[in-house]
Copies of this chain bind each other. A is one copy, B any other.
Amino acid sequence: MAIEFGSLIGSDHASVVSMNLFVALLCACIVIGHLLEENRWMNESITALAIGLCTGFIILLTTKGKSSHILVFSEDLFFIYLLPPIIFNAGFQVKKKQFFRNFMTIMLFGAIGTLISFWIVSLVGAIHFFEKMNIGSLEINDYLAIGAILSATDSVCTLQVLNQDETPLLYSLVFGEGVVNDATSVVLFNAIQSFDLSHINLSIVLQFFGNFLYLFISSTLLGVLTGLLSAFIIKKLYFGRHSTDREVALMILMAYLSYMLAELFYLSGILTVFFCGIVMSHYTWHNVTESSRVTTKHAFATLSFIAEIFIFLYVGMDALDIEKWRVVSNSPGKSVGVSSILLGLVLLGRAAFVFPLSFVSNLTKKSSQEKIGIKQQVVIWWAGLIRGSVSMALAYNKFTMSGHTSLRGNAIMITSTISVVLFSTVVFGLMTKPLVRIMLPSPKHLTRMLSSEPSSPKSFTLPLLSNGQDSEGNNGRQTIPRPTSLRMLLSTPSHTVHYYWRKFDNAFMRPVFGGRGFVPIVPGSPLEQSVNQWH
């Protein structure tokens, strides 16, 4: 006790050691990820996963097989602290024009596609194979849950292998699908937990769809309203007049509030915080000072970045958790069999919706440029195969009691999920970058590779002036033809919706909530300074 002189932390010293190790590993992931960046196969997720696996292995050796992780996997940690910044940042940085132009396709993939994948994995595949294999005591709910768990694609890892500037259409499709898919699979999962599915009838199916619609619409509305409220408050109070910190703090807190409010009302926090991010980048971001813009843009990205690495490090370390493997170790063949079957079902389930739904989506498009080509469909299919942290979190929620399980069936499901996550992240993840290069060689991409000057020069000026929506502001009116008849509305619905939305946005929304070019120039206000600064 005499040496415990400066320390004040109440918890035991072992947890301080764990935290040190974990923070040091996070730093190591960043440095090693940076060193491997030029490598054409690797990405930050795989690096973190590999470091996590190595560390888990070392801990396993030093503790003589007793433990492999330094932090116990906690769903709360994941869903309350790590997921919100990632999804919010995704909404904040997404190219809104691309996203909304492809909105119908994204919804088709994200909602209908996930349901098809779920149906194939659980009801067509797992239930038939596993009932013959005699794996513990699994019920219909367990089969359905495994379907929902393995329908959740890992948008985090996917985003690291696709590039928003090189393949904008693909990026927005895969990424948008990922967000809607996250929400859909979580909703599905909860529906399975709460509904009695032993006797399905029409009323239950209708109730399920009704609930899904209610959830989707109300979550989106909540996110939009919170975002608008933040824009309104900051515009009215001119925070920038006094303090950048106050603006940034308010944006962070209100974004987090939107997520927690959704949880409060039993809605989908993921959807809410995603749409809150979109609204904040469209309105709020334009109402703050220049320094706040740079700060929020990079601070949100950094938080998201740290959370991503944290998750993969965590998953890698937790994958070796000896407790679950010991339960299944007496039948290794069965475990490998289950994992392989699930992996096959994932491949099949995704193929079963990407190609047919792309065909459906192409029917509504006139120009061949907007259509999704067969090579692009293959990339979409492949990039969405990765299963990640959401699957892990859902599997832990379903098949363990606060991280522990002793039932053989549950242990097999957990270890199989871990196997699918590891295999898909490492193998599919490693092969996505090369696949994109082979399938879609773009001239832009080559120039970027050859150029010695990287993307950082634009990181200071471009985000401020364009934010990647260059053609959205004033050119919007020229590029979109004015719809003159009902026929036009039917033939190009998304363009028409976009046209009327811009009209409404300019006439009503921006004057009230602020936004690019619609913050009145007041002496000493943020905008005037920025105008003076740049011209």
Residues from chain B with a CB closer than 8 A to the CB of A460 are 289-291, 529-530, 533
CA distance A49 to B356 in the complex (A): 60
Give the contacting residue for A248; candidates B2, B248, B290, B298; CB below 8 A: B298
Give the contacting residue for A523; candidates B27, B76, B452, B530; CB below 8 A: B452
Residues from chain B with a CB closer than 8 A to the CB of A31 are 233, 237, 250
Q: Is the CB of B456 within 8 A of A240?
A: yes
Question: For chain A residues 450-492, which have a beta carbon within 8 Å of chain B?
Answer: 452-457, 459-461, 463
Question: For chain A residues 284-321, which have a beta carbon within 8 Å of chain B?
Answer: 289-292, 294-295, 297-299, 301-302, 305-306, 309
Among the interface residues A3, A191, A302, A461, which one has the most CB atoms of the partner chain B within 10 A? A302
Q: Is the CB of A10 within 8 A of B76?
A: yes
Give the contacting residue for A23; candidates B74, B193, B257; CB below 8 A: B257
Q: Is the CB of B20 within 8 A of A261?
A: yes
Residues from chain B with a CB closer than 8 A to the CB of A257 are 20, 23-24, 27
A206 touches B (CB below 8 Å)? no
Knowing A19-B260, A237-B31, the reply to whether A186 touches B6 (Cβ < 8 A) is yes
Q: Is the CB of A291 within 8 A of B459?
A: yes
A 208-223 binary contact with B (CB < 8 Å = 1; else 0): 0001000100010000
A380 touches B (CB below 8 Å)? no
B-binding segment of A52-60, A104-112, A165-173, A263-271: A263-271
Q: Is the CB of B454 within 8 A of A524?
A: yes
A253 touches B (CB below 8 Å)? yes
Knowing A10-B76, A253-B306, A264-B20, the reply to whether A453 touches B292 (Cβ < 8 A) is no
A323 touches B (CB below 8 Å)? no
| Majority secondary structure of chain A interface residues (helix, strand, loop or mixed) | helix
Knowing A10-B76, A253-B30, the reply to whether A190 touches B4 (Cβ < 8 A) is yes
Knowing A10-B76, A215-B5, A266-B7, the reply to whether A250 touches B454 (Cβ < 8 A) is no
Knowing A245-B298, A248-B302, A294-B294, the reply to whether A5 touches B266 (Cβ < 8 A) is yes
Q: Is the CB of A526 within 8 A of B6?
A: no
Q: How many copies, total?
A: 2
Q: Is the CB of B24 within 8 A of A533?
A: no
Give the contacting residue for A260; candidates B10, B20, B79, B248; CB below 8 A: B20
Give the contacting residue for A461; candidates B33, B294, B533; CB below 8 A: B533
- List residues of chain A with CB under 8 Å of any chain B CB: 1-11, 13, 16-17, 19-20, 23-24, 26-27, 30-31, 33-35, 37, 74-76, 79-80, 183, 186-187, 189-191, 193-195, 211, 215, 219, 233, 237, 239-246, 248-250, 252-254, 256-257, 260-264, 266-269, 271, 289-292, 294-295, 297-299, 301-302, 305-306, 309, 393, 397, 452-457, 459-461, 463, 523-524, 526, 529-530, 532-533
Return 22 A-B CB contacts under 8 Å, by A number: A1-B193, A7-B269, A8-B186, A27-B254, A30-B246, A30-B249, A34-B237, A34-B242, A35-B237, A244-B298, A244-B301, A244-B302, A244-B459, A245-B301, A249-B302, A249-B306, A249-B309, A294-B298, A295-B298, A453-B524, A456-B524, A457-B529
9 more A-B residue pairs beyond the given contacts A5-B211, A240-B456, with a C-beta to C-beta distance below 8 A: A1-B193, A5-B267, A6-B267, A10-B74, A31-B233, A37-B242, A252-B306, A292-B298, A453-B523
Closest 10 CB pairs of A and B: A6-B268, A295-B298, A248-B302, A294-B294, A299-B299, A6-B267, A245-B302, A10-B75, A245-B301, A245-B305
